[in-house]
């Protein structure tokens, strides 16, 4: 994302996209059952998904992004949420995560995976930093269909000039992701695409 668009992205995420993050945070909470330990939010942007999950759990968070502008917003949002005691930011790429092996209980990510290059390497890194028994829940979407439609409508009204098409990555199909997971030696894994987005899950 162009640096000039980052402040608007953060504004929209805080102002109208909160239900999306709450929705996926509840799903992650229900599906993984992981409520304590360490969680890495990859391609975190302003940290919205992890911050929503922090409200449901006692997890400690590391927010990783390649963009210093996004991380600045993540730091502001962490402070505004009163979560400084259990959240830190770290700059890095998913393809070379600057963390020790087996250091995370949970890895989450939303809206970042379409931008990742070298997918087998990226998935291998997520797997490497997970502890044995850890869970990866990564993907993207705009929540349930009703929320999605309401947000899209509001975007058209309030941000008619917002568009990020120039940097929109080409769509990859489920098989592409499944092949990359297999190439990273990750078995089993699931890749699901529905009205609620594309989500990939695996355990270590």
Stretch that binds ligand SAM, among 26-34, 38-46, 78-86, 192-200 (CB under 6 A): 38-46
Q: Which is nearer to ligand SAM, 92 or 187 (CB)?
A: 92
> Which range, of 27-35, 65-73, 144-152, 182-190, touches ligand SAM by CB under 6 A?
65-73
Residue 204 beta carbon to ligand SAM: minimum distance, rounded to whole angstroms: 20
Residue nearest to ligand SAM (CB): 45
CB-hemisphere CA count at 13 Å for 78?
23
Q: What angle do CA 37, 43, 46 make, to 5 degrees?
A: 85
* Contacts to ligand SAM from residues 69-128, by CB under 6 A: 70, 93-95, 110-112, 115-116
Tell me: does residue 65 bind ligand SAM (CB under 6 A).
yes
Cα–Cα separations (whole angstroms), residue 116 to 25, 100, 111, 120, 189: 22, 21, 10, 10, 18
The rounded distance, in Å, linking the Cα atoms of 124 and 184 is 5
Using DSSP bridges, classify how beta strands 38-42 and 104-110 pair: parallel, antiparallel or unpaired: parallel
Residue 139 binding ligand SAM, by CB under 6 A: no
26 binds ligand SAM (CB under 6 A): no
Return the closest-CA partner of residue 107 out of 131, 91, 90. Answer: 131
Which residues contact ligand SAM by CB under 6 A?
1, 13, 43-45, 48-49, 65-67, 70, 93-95, 110-112, 115-116
């Amino acid at each position: 994302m162009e640096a000039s668009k980052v402040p608007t992205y953060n504004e929209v995420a805080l102002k109208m996209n909160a239900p999306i993050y709450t929705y996926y945070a509840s799903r992650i909470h229900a599906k993984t059952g992981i409520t304590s330990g360490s969680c890495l939010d990859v391609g975190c942007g302003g940290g919205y998904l992890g911050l929503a999950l922090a409200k449901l759990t006692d997890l400690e968070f590391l927010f990783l992004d390649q963009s210093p502008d996004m991380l600045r917003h993540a730091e502001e949002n962490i402070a505004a949420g009163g979560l400084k005691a259990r959240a830190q930011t770290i700059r890095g790429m998913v393809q070379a995560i600057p963390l020790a092996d087996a250091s995370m209980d949970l890895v989450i990510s939303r809206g970042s995976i379409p931008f990742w290059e070298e997918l087998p390497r990226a998935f291998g890194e997520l797997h490497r930093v997970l502890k044995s028994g850890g869970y990866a829940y990564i993907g993207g979407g705009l929540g349930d269909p009703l929320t999605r439609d309401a947000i899209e409508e509001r975007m058209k009204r309030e941000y008619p000039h917002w568009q990020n098409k120039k940097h929109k990555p080409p769509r990859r199909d489920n098989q592409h992701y499944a092949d990359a997971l297999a190439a990273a030696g990750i078995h089993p894994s699931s890749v699901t695409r529905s009205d609620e987005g594309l989500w990939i899950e695996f355990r270590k």
